Structure 1
């Protein structure tokens, strides 16, 4: 058993709960939309995708989804956009966790593979961008 991984994952769960219960996560999302204001739908969806991807770096993908789906649906309604596409985007973008070894799978292979955090940043940054571009393109084409 790789105890470092067990403790890493065990520490992320309370961090995610604290992030949710203090209202910090909701405050960040509301602040971002307040700064951005009225934007085209594709820009709004890009913001939601980036926001969700960032949340999943510090909060579990389930926690990010539970928090952001209702919030992003409400923001979509405010903007006059379909809230279902915002919910679908959050659900799919919550799996976009390539940049840091904070996701369970990334953490599990870090030590046995001899990877460093920088390795994840280097490889994961490009993957994150590709994931978002493909996701937004597919949602625009097929939704």
Structure 2
């Protein structure tokens, strides 16, 4: 059973470790990743962002963050699911949670950066209504070659 809860400081290491494992499996860890993951309090939460942890039978197995980019505009990022729990649709539940939160708070949109190498993830984003938009030249991640948004 999955329960999605708001971040607590006791989960800072699991937030970092889940993301590092995912990044190292598919890509590499960039400077921006180190900044966000090593001090999520300063670089995400203190700037108006949010982090959520997914608990499977009380065990933290997934996470995601929402970085505040402007009034009613948030960037979905740092979403990761423990390898042992992938196939349980936890990522989709976390994504649905983020969208419901945005709608409840009457946000304008949720943006995300991804890679065209991640076809299963892109399929899920599209399934949830995200559409590709122009990727700016100064994208925060070198690995990102696609930007998507969901208008709420």
Q: TM-score, with normalisation over the residues of structure 1?
A: 0.31
Q: TM-score, with normalisation over the residues of structure 2?
A: 0.30
Higher strand content, 1 or 2 = 2
More relative contact order, 1 or 2 (CA 8 Å, 6+ apart): 1
The structure that has the greater radius of gyration is: 1
